[in-house]
Structure 1
Amino acid sequence: MDFRLLFESTPSPYLVIGPDLVIVEVNPAYLAATAKKRAELVGTHIFTAFPDNPDLLTADGVRNLRRSLETVLATGQPDTMPIQRYDIPVGPDGAFEERHWSPVNTPVTGPDGAIRYILHRAEDVTELVAARPSDERLERLEVDLFVRSRELKAANDRLAEAGAALRREHQAKDRFFAAVAHELRTPLSALRAAAEVLSLDAAEHMALGVLDRQVTALTRMTDDLLDAGRVITGNLRVDPRPLDLREVVADAVGPPGLHGREVVVSVPDEPVVVLGDPVRLGQAVGNLLSNAVRYSSAGTPVRVGLVVAAGTAEVAVVDSGIGFDPALTEVLFQDFTRVADTRTGGLGLGLAIVRGVVSAHGGTVTAHSDGPGTGARFALRLPLFG
């Protein structure tokens, strides 16, 4: 595409200004609007080329335009100015002529993110202003609107700064938890090895069973911290390959009694092939199953179903447990969240990890409950392969 041809053909008046506010380029529409020649403008500081009208005591065009350009350079964001009176010198004697403009200043950044140029567009609205009836109330309204727009911009800037600070805080939190998880793995491995050595001399000692269960629980929490950190930072690795999702479900459910609960499984007779990482998908289904067992009564079954529809495979885990408020559906998948029953164990990372794993496979996960005490249904959906 010939961008120079585009720049020169556009009917809107444009200047290209460097960060030092020296004019770099100008299009014919701008030359026509200002009655200038290209040689008069290119290489000249914008306020040398266009000074304030010395005969107009209230002239503030230079001040307002300078403030706008400095705002663009400081924030890297476009700045739209209200209609400005900015008289320009015209004719051989350089006499100033009253002009009104509607300016917009837009940054142009390079590959490194630094501002290379400012694109200054200034539409001449002098005729529009002249045709408008003189009305002091309208002028006061314009001044008030200008002040309010500046206040709004300042508020937006403060909000952006607060958002950046919050993101930095979250990043620090994520790094902290990842570091804690890594540090915990070494002593946990040592504890596991020590328990195995002790079991050789006192295999029947009841304390060994307690130690094994606690080390297993701590290891699970540590692994969850690591996986949640990978999900949050976008570093969760998956090794996709064609696999039968029925096998993933079977491995997650395991033999009867593994979860201390009756698990009713329903899968199709034919293979359900998806492109996925068997370990990660097994982790996702296992987390949903563990969640259902944790939040439902011991005497009730948990149902796991696999169905195929419209090119999608769905694994659903259904329980008749405590359920949740439908308004909290999205909150459930946030990290360190347990909105159902805070007395249960765990860090509240299981569902966040499920969403991260499923998203990494191009799928989705949803949750549904009719309310507290009505049970819950969690479903993950993946595109079929082939």
Structure 2
Amino acid sequence: MSSGDAHAPGSPAPDTAFDRIDYAAVYQALPGPILLLTPDLVMADANEAYVRVSGRRREELVGRYVFDVFPDDPADPDASGPKNLRVSLERVLATRERDAMAVQKYSVEVPGRPGVYEERYWSTVNVPVIGADGRVALVVHRPEEVTALVRARRALGTAPGWVPSREDAMTVDLLDRAKELEELNERLRQDHARVHEIAVTLQRAMLPATPLAEHPYVAVRYRPATSLLNVCGDWYDLFELDADRLAVAVGDVVGHGLEAAGVMGQLRSALSAAIRATGRPTSALRALAQHARTIEGALATTAVQAVVDRSERTVTYSRAGHPPPLLAHPDGTVEILDRATDPPLGAGDASVPHCEATVTYAPGATLVLYTDGLIERRDEDIDTGLRRLAACLERHHALAPERLADTVLTHLAPAPAPGPDDDTALVAIRL
């Protein structure tokens, strides 16, 4: 087929009407006012509708901090619009989730008349735009002015002998329900925040408080998800089996919140007991898989169990659907420990023996175990994240474990975490 023939099936045409769309022009032509804010709440751009409704020139808006241009009305002690908007914007930045505000009173300073404010009402939606690194790159601030509706409701409600028409009644009902919805949303946010705090506290209470005191070459990190309920599926465990052997495990429960924290606690305790009893990663994970079938919410959990034998200088490991550990050798080469792979707990045939593999290491090597929150990204193959982690270890393997753990988190999971909003657990051991 020559280059002038039709393009390959399933691939986009090299030049289509969609390729030639001027999205900047579309943004300016939108009939509703839209303001784009940076994460620092600086106004990055405003469409023509926003310029008109704000009563400001574009050069008075773009590049300026939004609350410098639209400050509180100092003469109105009950003004809550600016405060509520700030809370909404900060919530969007923290959670990376859309936030809808009900009707707010937000008086605006009259252009050309310093200190004179006009009472105005708005119904606003704030939406995050997520960048390639997973962080909030922009916030789309879309205010709809409803001042006329509020004033009409106020006037009609106080008019002598007024009998509302069907349209008037619908307007009044809409505004009343908007206020009720705002109060309900705020109560839900407070409830979710309390659940989040309880879940994180429970999670931390069930994880080992400190690395082994007699084994100083260990660093552990746990970072909960930023989302209010998307926490508490991950765990790690670390302890001495005997004078020569160190057991280390990392796992990830499917699900979130308090329920996942409870399941996590049961599975971590069960795996700890199993590896103490058997001393073999494959036997411990087989017992854990059988136990998981008796716990609601435990199926499809992933885990990896390893045993470091310091006298033999070996690492023996077994995985149940979990991302592979990495072994950084003293010369900087990084080995991906992916030879022992089984399905997640409860997902495979219980009668099939689990896999186990053993690798050797030289003094000064570093073993790294982690959960998928460290390497996953939106719209990216997980192998890409795995290669990114391996490259980071190649460059920084000589760092002490504490510094290495911080460096890995900084490069792969800067707060807020860049991948799917998920917990991140990390264990680094200098062997």
Between structure 1 and structure 2, the one with the greater Rg is 1
- TM-score between both structures, scaled by the size of structure 1: 0.45
- TM-score between both structures, scaled by the size of structure 2: 0.41
1 or 2, which has the higher helix percentage? 1
